[in-house]
Each structure stands twice: as C-alpha cells, then as structure tokens.
Amino acid sequence: MSLRRLEILQWLGLLAGALAWAAQHVVGYGVTEAQCSPGGMHFGISNDTWQVSLMAAAAVVILGAEAAAVAVVRATRPTSYEGGPPPGRIRFFAIAAMVANAIFLMIVLLNGVASIFSVECRGS
C-alpha cells in the first residue's frame, strides 16, 4: 500500500470516530428537544426510533474507522511507532486511533442506550 493511501486511512481512522460521536450527540439532543418542545409536538417525532438510528449509524462509522486504523497498523507492522517520519508517525496515529475508536464506540452505545431508556420531557 502506498504511503499516501496509508496517510489517508490514518486520518480517516483518527477523525471519523470523533465526528460520528459528535454528530450522534448533537443530533440526538436536537431530536429530544424537538420531541419535548410544544412546537415540535405536531411533527410526531419518535425519540426512540431516532436514537436507535443515530446510534447504529454512528457505530457503523466508528467500526469503519477502527477497520481503517487496524489496516494501517497491519501495513506498518515492520515500522516502529518511534521510527522516523512519516511511517513512524503514521503508525503512532493509527495506534492512537484504534484506542480512541474503542472509547468512542462505548460512548456512542452508552449515549444511545441512555437516551432510549431515559424519561424525556421532565419538567424542572
């Protein structure tokens, strides 16, 4: 695999999981607000359906990012992450992406499950 392709996969693996989590969190919050606000009541928004869909989509993106990171780590196996740039830097970021994507996957699953099983629209 070429160095340029490894760099693209490395950045995809590093950034896609974070962006998927951020999108799931922001859109999920907006859906909950739309369901609970008096102005959004006539839209018939189903919070549970949206939250499950958002959680599944984010999980798929994060698993794809994890696969990209694993592919880069496997392709740079002969190189040490302490090696010289660019191969050493690519391997280092891919290892960091593998760890970060595992964390982001857990955050997305916990966020989605909590949004589904929580009691929305509570008055303060």
Q: How many residues does the chain have?
A: 124
**Regions of the chain where pLDDT drops below 70:** 40-41, 80-84, 119-124
Q: Is 115 helix (H, G, I), strand (E, B) or coil?
A: helix
**57 phi/psi in degrees, rounded to 5:** -65, -45
Spatial distance between the Cα atoms of 36 and 76, rounded to a whole number of angstroms:
49
| pTM for this predicted structure | 0.87
Residue pair 49/31 in contact by the 8 Å Cβ criterion:
no
For helices 47-75 and 87-117, angle between their N-to-C axes, nearest 10 degrees: 160
